[in-house]
Structure 1
């Protein structure tokens, strides 16, 4: 029997794992990549192309390597915990080579349109038109059994309107509308911060006691530097906006090389006037850091419509009204965490749905989920274009894992190995966690989890230190203590409710 053919649009962080997941499920991937390389925005170039995002030359990843890797391919131990963008690209190349993905990629090929096949209601098939970007050949149209849209949400730059902006004669532009809570990459004891906060007890605290969780987190970040003293404190709580991760900003502020100003009112020919009435003249450079507008120009609006960065998708993946769920949008998310493992989990779900081994819920449940997500997002986050596709790493991964059937079974784990099950529950929610059981189970997942500390430690151990460093940090003990605190507070709230 011929395997189903799946079109993968884009060969970036999401497209590569889409190809891999297709192969895992016995599907035949055909990837279309309009550039000559893999990596998407992680492929730095000195000559960026309009409509195609690219990291800056200095960009360093904001999530640590153990929390951003694909679940069956750890990042090399000698790589730094927070990698430069060139090393992220190297990792993608290693991933592609290890699983033989490149032979499925059609480079310098642009997808023109994706539309339902004539018999879509029966077959779920899609008609795709594409052409080479350099050959000048005519477009080609083919039929596919499924489509994975892996173009991400960093494409067209968003430029807001400011009075006088067109007349301004500086080189580059910057605007900020509100203050921000600032996280740093390095947490207590020098541990990557996402390994401290990316734990199930933390998720429990945030979901059960959001106010207390926010206050504790604000207290923690203010211990590093007082946000109000530095004119950065916003009016909203810390988890009501996607936080900034920056290690250098406090040092720049205290040395005077950066000054925090209010929102921009208007631009003059050589300067800026702010809403508080102050102004700065003879400015050499202003950077307009206002994000991106995402969309899918090759898709009909009745399939996936985007308006002001708002889109209605089940699990931020599926157009709710499609008769057949054979098209999924991958990586169109703004996570508190890394995109890579989330995109992989989305692809694990999508390929199983296309194959027919996993079924999505009925139409009514799908729309209820869409509306509930919109309501929860509106309640938690300040109104902004960037908060329309926001997800929490752990909660969202668990949602998808339930549908895939790979959410960790802690009762079964406890029976097999009680100590390991506690490590998984109280420790960081590594991507490997979702390879311990269910479809896609990996026999090496347990060992990957047990050896994480060695990979965290290796790039830091650059000279002999004798026996002064313990083999493992005391994070398990800390997580257990915080869980007990949360449990006690929960019981107090229960008693007070009577």
Structure 2
């Protein structure tokens, strides 16, 4: 029997797990990678200024911790930092590709030029992929399925301000920023309030004379390092917290508690970055260093830009700053699907497209042989989300998962977009926002692999406790359903050790003795968890 083949565009965070799951479901992946190495965005490209190629800056450290970033069957090495530098993130992807033997399926220096439905698509759902190799030879090849996995950080969103053309200093998008060498001892401006903007402001604040951070709306600023020095996202992204936030507590109370906690770290109003919107109305910006830069005077938050002068900026409040050398626009990115039938099949406007679970277009629901993987902005790590989308896609192709009809997809899209519009500030940044745990659970329910802590309460209470109160890492979705991974339980229970072991090379004995009541805290926590889930079940199925 001839094996079915799947074309995968891109060999990075979305493309590699797509290839892994293609193999798991007996599809032969053909990965088209335009560069000579894997990694995509996470491979630093010091000399690369191609507007179609994404790249981190030299100093980039990922905002989500290694355990939350990990793919479902590949825990990161012990010695990797909890928050990995881009070189470690790239190394993790390379190790993953080696572990699953993906390199033989990658065609390097091959650029996909277009994707279209085959002439007999109505009969078999097949696709034609046009591509160019390193010899500039163009070819077209037929595939049973196509995965678009090239990410959404390649097309810079260019914002125009009045007088911008007469500014005589350097003005670039953060897409083209590599390192701080050309910005030392100069006056710099960063425009934006996302994670890239914060990273840039902090870096330029250290090396320049002064850095101004211009923001129109402000932002709630979170942190990487949580209580007791542990990864904040591991503490926040738990099933217990998700249940409390989304099912039990009133939303105004949750918003008040979140803002109160955020304000404890630094007063956003005094520091000039206080937004008018609620805590959950934006994608959380993460920066441990920004308050330190502001309090030392190396970074100053400014309002929006009214207009440029030849050597300065007039701010929205009418004040003027002269002597500006450089402006970096960290104003985000735009996506489109021009690669597929010249953008006619899946229209995208203002970063909005009608896609079921951010991955499937309803008009192809009869076959579902084309998918977009990784098109999401989760309140957590993107890697597990991309992997789960790929897993669902191939499971559905092989009959292990059932997708809704076209009408069902349309209803789900309408509901999701209405929820986004209701919760988030209107912005191209929030059009693909998803709640990490809720979204992963939605995909898992379609796959039949959503874990229930109650199932393990008696047989394995330690695992039940970890599922309820521990980080909701991707391993939890390999405990049940199809494609169970034998190492999932150990990977889950070993998370605390892997988080601790990379923190220090110096062994220190704890001086404080453990209080006698501490040995009962797990039982108390489990009892509280059971009560919470009872309330959840009552609300969900009875009330």
- Normalised to the residue count of structure 1, the TM-score between the two structures is 0.94
Q: For the structure 1 residues 474 and 415, does the alpha-carbon distance in structure 2 shift closer, same or farther, using more than 3 Å as the test? A: closer
Q: Kindly state the Cα deviation for residue 205 of structure 1 after the two structures are TM-superposed.
A: 2.5
Structure 1 pair 409/204, CA: closer, same or farther in 2 (3 Å)?
A: closer
Q: Deviations over 1:324-371 (max 9, x none)?
A: 101110001111111111111011001112223322112221110000
SS at match of 2:141: strand
Determine the structure 2 residue equivalent to 1:215.
Answer: 256
Alignment match, 1:317:
359
- Judged with a 3 Å threshold, the aligned counterparts in structure 2 of structure 1 residues 241 and 5 are, in CA distance, closer, same or farther, namely same
Inter-CA distance 141–474: structure 2 relative to 1 (3 Å threshold): farther
Counterpart in 1 of 2:229?
190
Secondary structure class of the residue paired with 2:23? helix
Distance 1:475 1:244, change over 3 A: farther
Match for residue 245 of structure 1?
Answer: 286
Aligned-partner Cα distance in 1 for 2:114–2:266: 50
TM-score (norm 2): 0.86
Match of 1:231 in 2: 272
Shift in Å, 1:305: 1.2
Contact 1:5 1:28 in 2 (8 A): yes
Name stretches of at least 5 consecutive residues in structure 2 with no aligned partner. 173-189, 192-214
Match 2:332 to one of 285, 291, 296 = 291
Could you list the per-position Cα deviations for residues 266-320 of structure 1 after superposition, in whole angstroms to 9, with x for gaps in the alignment? 1111111111111111112221010111112211234211111111100100001
Instruction: Give 3-state SS (helix, strand or coil) of 1:219's partner.
Output: helix
Deviation of 1:470 after TM superposition, in Å, equals 8.7
Among 436, 440, 444, the alignment partner of 2:487 is 444
Q: Pick closer, same or farther for the CA change 1:222–1:141 going to 2, 3 Å.
A: same
SS of match in other structure, 1:419: helix
CA contact 2:239–2:467 (8 Å) conserved in 1 = no
Counterpart for residue 38 of structure 1: 38
**Within 5 A, what are the aligned runs for 1:336-375?**
336-375=379-418
SS in 2 for 1:306: coil
Change (3 A) 1:479 1:396: farther
Tell me how far apart the structure 1 counterparts of residues 291 and 461 of structure 2 sit (CA, whole Å).
Answer: 43
Q: What's the RMSD between the two structures over aligned residues?
A: 2.5
CA contact (8 A) 1:406 1:434 kept: yes
Q: 1:14 to 1:461 in 2, by over 3 A?
A: same
Q: SS in structure 1 opposite 2:58?
A: coil
SS of 1:260 mapped into structure 2: strand
Q: Which residue of 2 aligns with 1:303?
A: 345
Residue 16 of structure 1: aligned partner:
16
What is the 5 A alignment of 1:144-163? Answer: 144-163=143-162
Aligned twin of 1:122: 123
In 1: Cα distance, 2:480 partner to 2:318 partner:
60
1:54-93 counterparts in 2 under 5 A?
Answer: 54-93=55-94
Q: Tell me how far apart the structure 1 counterparts of residues 359 and 73 of structure 2 sit (CA, whole Å).
A: 22
Task: Tell me which residue corresponds to 1:28.
Answer: 28
1:484-495 equivalences under 5 Å are none
In structure 2, distance between residues paired with 1:427 and 1:160: 41
Moved more, 476-485 or 408-417: 476-485
Contact 2:338/2:344 (<8 A) preserved: no
The Cα offsets for residues 157-180 of structure 1, whole Å up to 9 and x where unpaired, read as: 111121111111111353232111
Residue deviations 1:51-110 (CA, integer Å, cap 9, x gap): 111001000011111110101000001111001000000011111111110110011111
Q: In structure 2, which of residues 471, 477, 500 is the aligned counterpart of residue 428 of structure 1?
A: 471
**Would you say the 8 A contact 1:427–1:479 is kept in 2?**
no
1:398 paired to 2:437: no
CA contact (8 A) 1:12 1:38 kept: yes
- SS of the residue aligned with 2:111? strand
Q: Distance in 1 between matches of 2:370 and 2:487?
A: 31
Specify which of 177, 180, 186 is matched with residue 216 of structure 2. 177
Mapped to 2, the partners of 1:484 and 1:165 lie a distance apart of 59
1:52 aligns with 2:53: yes
Report what 1:94 is aligned to: 95
C-alpha displacement of 1:479: 6.8
The separation in 2 between residues aligned to 1:485 and 1:269, in whole angstroms, is 64
Q: Distance in 2 between matches of 1:483 and 1:280?
A: 55
Structure 1 unpaired stretches of 5+: none
Assess if the C-alpha contact under 8 Å between 1:326 and 1:353 holds in 2: no
Tell me the alpha carbon deviations over residues 446-479 of structure 1, each in whole angstroms, 9 at most, x when there is no partner. Answer: 0111111110000113212124489999996897
